[in-house]
Structure 1
């Protein structure tokens, strides 16, 4: 242990880091960091690390090995990113050596293992929306699924919308960053934008607000679009809606050989995410972005609509096959009246 370092227990170090982190990041990022560091603290207890000053390269390699046995490589990479952030902060307050964060190495992730492979396919989205059009028109579920698929927006952005944010005369919604009332947007005020919904989805939302929306306010006196009798709908409730509506047994027989009466993913007290085929809100976002690109919407337009940088869009969201990308380029050539004979 270096004489220049000031002793700090892992639990106090995590507490200090989270307090430092909380005002500057989105709520979801904060909770992700907190969860990861709870695992780090569990490892510290198991390996009897009682002072952050004692951390060294070998110990951190042991932590990486310990965590690797519990999660997939891509999850491990994301976990270690949060740990590096904490190590950087601890170095600033003299709990670990400066530059120590650079000694934490994540395993290589094989090409194609990024989570962009997990997405809702256009065919599935259309089938679910057609079912809702017919059997649950203008329901809260209808609005959630329609909004996620049509707009490519994040769960947090969808949850943040108030009734007053709707712009029916333009068939649009205005997304606003309001961290003071617990509805921040992912990239802060830079995420504020108008999003076009189209006349069909706008009508569904208008009918939902008029006939089916729970008339309630949140604790800040705002009227959330997605409401329950308790106020603004929780992120968990939105996730569960997506999980339930993407269970195959909603539309057909269960492909997993399960019986609805005994399945842990079906029913009032169920855990819908336990269905192997269920999809999260983020899977809707990935699928919707890919579908926009396949339909020939320029990447720059998708980038602004979905509030995602082009580099991130191509790396994490663009799940098109190479031939699908070519098909879009061919369409653009045809629109420009490009004549290959002129090249001969």
Structure 2
């Protein structure tokens, strides 16, 4: 086996064979889903090499990296700078592997320049898939149990409430025995709901979310009142937790590297500026604010056939029309299948 490996990296270093070997051996020990993403992205590089009649990896020159960037810009299926950056990041990581195998000189991967992506370029339709939100909750439950961060993520991922609603919760709003939270409009004492009294409702929660709430209240919550004499659910030593702090916690823990996942855009967490402090988390192109968590939760409900008018609208305090226009990231085919599963067998 070792001689076969040595043969692969001696003489003519085949682009296709080395990429396939790289993906099969998984030198970075990443998840199978990540390997699938690498395969899709590196296929563009293989197409580029084919067009340029490059069969030997060692023929790649620094100028080819700029030409490849331009090649990606002209690909019709890559419609955003973020998609292009992901392809370049995967190539950069592959080149780092090739440096280890002495195909390229050390540092060659740095010729692959990653474009900067702003939050605006990420678009107004950003959303965090429910599965990713659950991963974050599970990580915090294991490594930061009953912390404010754990509770904030558990409630956002579980209920899809707005940041302002989470900020408004009082201790008395939580019913541990029956597992629900009463959403109350208290405009006169500083916490108006977005839709005022019309936004008042009771939200049921799972036993896991209730466990996070109970643990936080018993072990971590500061026993303190706010300036109105109310007992906030989420507190600091000075009073009610600020909305800006809730937002910061969401940005911080939605960075993939924060929960031990590989950076999708190829940055090293040891040196990436956005990975050094929570205050810098906004600069990570993968981090999100609370609203995409809400959008991902509603999309999850819709994708699973939960009735919009009777359930989602009331639970999430948004009209069916608003949900249809702004919150549902499902494809038409996914909506169709969700409706099918809901009505079949009735």
Q: TM-score range by the shorter chain?
A: 0.5 to 0.7
Instruction: Verify: 1:315 aligned to 2:337, yes or no.
Output: no
Cα offset, 1:270, TM superposition = 3.1
Q: Is the 8 A contact 1:244 1:278 kept in 2?
A: yes
Sort the Cα spacing of 1:264 and 1:181 in 2 relative to 1 into closer, same or farther, 3 A.
farther
What's the counterpart of residue 238 of structure 1?
Answer: 246
CA distance in structure 2 between the aligned counterparts of 1:172 and 1:243, rounded to whole angstroms? 26
Sort the Cα spacing of 1:203 and 1:286 in 2 relative to 1 into closer, same or farther, 3 A.
same
CA distance in structure 1 between the aligned counterparts of 2:228 and 2:308, rounded to whole angstroms? 37
What's the counterpart of residue 285 of structure 2?
Answer: 276
State the SS of the aligned residue for 2:228. coil
CA distance in structure 1 between the aligned counterparts of 2:328 and 2:264, rounded to whole angstroms? 28
CA distance in structure 2 between the aligned counterparts of 1:207 and 1:294, rounded to whole angstroms? 32
What's the counterpart of residue 120 of structure 1?
Answer: 128
Residue ranges of structure 2 left out of the alignment (5+ in a row): 1-120
State the SS of the aligned residue for 1:217. coil
CA distance in structure 1 between the aligned counterparts of 2:225 and 2:336, rounded to whole angstroms? 49
What's the counterpart of residue 303 of structure 2?
Answer: 294
2:149 corresponds, among 141, 152, 158, to 141
Q: Is the 8 A contact 1:162 1:225 kept in 2?
A: yes
Aligned pairs for 1:1-344 (under 5 A) are: 117-250=125-258, 251-268=260-277, 270-300=279-309, 301-336=311-346
Sort the Cα spacing of 1:114 and 1:278 in 2 relative to 1 into closer, same or farther, 3 A.
closer
Cα offset, 1:290, TM superposition = 0.5
Q: Is the 8 A contact 1:148 1:281 kept in 2?
A: yes
Cα offset, 1:205, TM superposition = 0.2
CA distance in structure 2 between the aligned counterparts of 1:114 and 1:302, rounded to whole angstroms? 26
Cα offset, 1:150, TM superposition = 0.9
State the SS of the aligned residue for 2:211. helix
Q: Which string of whole-angstrom CA distances, capped at 9 and with x for unpartnered residues, describes residues 253-304 of structure 1? A: 3233434344332334732111100011000000000011112211011000
Residue ranges of structure 1 left out of the alignment (5+ in a row): 1-112, 337-344
State the SS of the aligned residue for 1:265. helix
Aligned length: 224
CA distance in structure 1 between the aligned counterparts of 2:325 and 2:188, rounded to whole angstroms? 32
Cα offset, 1:180, TM superposition = 1.6
CA distance in structure 2 between the aligned counterparts of 1:138 and 1:273, rounded to whole angstroms? 24
Larger displacement relative to structure 2 (241-250 or 265-274): 265-274
Q: Stretches of 4+ moved more than 4 A in 1? A: 113-116
RMSD: 1.8
